[in-house]
Structure 1
Amino acid sequence: MSDSQELQELCAILAKCCPKLSGEFLRAILTPNELRELCQRWRIIKMLAAGKAQREIAQTLKTSLCKITRGSRELQKKNSPLLQALQIRKQLRSQ
């Protein structure tokens, strides 16, 4: 199986899991550092979406501008999966 196929399989499995099991799965498969990195990247996306400046985010989260710029570029893409994820987050928070 290629990496792309493996990723598709993992996504399909996670889509079928409840949030509790998804969290347990991620904690089991990722190292603590990988999990922190994933959470950090999600924080960056949320802060960018809230209109925070990239330099402010870098200073607040003590991270590189490169990571922040990557998130910013992804948010600017038409039909960005990150924007879609933020919409889902918004729907979940309003329930």
Structure 2
Amino acid sequence: MADTENKPTPEEVIREICRLIVKSQDQDLVYEFFGCLFTKSELNDFSKRWSLVKELRAGTTQREIAKKYNISLCNITRGSKELKKEDSAFKKMLALLDGEKK
């Protein structure tokens, strides 16, 4: 029988990955890491999710986004709800992106 007592929770694993990404401060290393960690299909889905958030903020309709990226309205609605939250991590990340562009 496998020892599951010491098995980290998914949250612990994700937090560890996030900590390492922040610690690395190396965009190329993080890009390579993502390429090792995720399949091409998973990376494609990942990029679509971020793209849809940017599209929503730009005022693109959910139906236009669904057609453009071949994404379900359910996924877009989820992104829209997250974006509407007062303390949204999406808003915070978009603000960081805006700061890069200045």
Bin the TM-score by the shorter chain.
Answer: over 0.9
TM-score by length of 1: 0.95
- Higher relative CO (CA 8 A, sep ≥ 6), structure 1 or 2? 1
Match of 1:44 in 2: 52
Q: CA separation in 2, counterparts of 1:90 and 1:53?
A: 21
Cα RMSD, aligned residues only: 0.8
Higher helix share: 1
Larger radius of gyration: 2
Structure 1 segments (4+ residues) deviating >3 Å: none
Q: How many residues align?
A: 94
What are structure 2's unaligned runs of at least 5 residues?
Answer: 1-7
What are structure 1's unaligned runs of at least 5 residues?
Answer: none
Identity %: 35
The match for 2:14 among 7, 11, 26 is 7
Alignment partner of 1:59 is 2:67: yes
The match for 1:72 among 72, 75, 80 is 80
Q: Cα offset for 1:25?
A: 0.5
One-letter identity of the residue aligned with 1:82: F
Which deviations, in whole Å up to 9, do the C-alpha atoms of 1:30-74 show, x marking residues without a partner? 011000000000110000011111111111112110110010000
Q: CA separation in 1, counterparts of 2:101 and 2:23?
A: 20
